[in-house]
Amino acid sequence: MSALGSALEIIQRASATVDRTASRLARPTAVSADGDTVDLSGEMVALLQARTANEVGVKLAQTVDDLQKSTISVLG
């Protein structure tokens, strides 16, 4: 897999995590499917991890883009 593909996968996984977490938090009763209440601190940790992963993916994509531009500049 290319570095750009890896960056996209990281961003997509982070987005999916945010979507799942938001879905759990948006339940009117704030009760999970197994009957437990939603662990707000755990959900916040998941959101922060997703944000960090997204930042890593974006930075990786920017770095790949910069490297490609440099390579084209040197070769072209």
**pLDDT, tens digit (0-9, with 9 covering 90-100), for 13-31:** 999 999 999 988 887 665 5
End-to-end CA distance of the chain: 25
- The residue count of the chain comes to 76
The burial class, CB within 10 Å (0-12 / 13-18 / 19+), for 57 is buried
Residue 67 confidence (pLDDT) above 70: yes
Question: In the prediction, which pLDDT does 72 show?
Answer: 93
Q: Domain residue spans in the chain? A: 3-75
**How far apart, in whole angstroms, are the C-alpha atoms of residue 56 and residue 32?**
30
State what percent of residues in the chain have pLDDT above 90.
Answer: 67
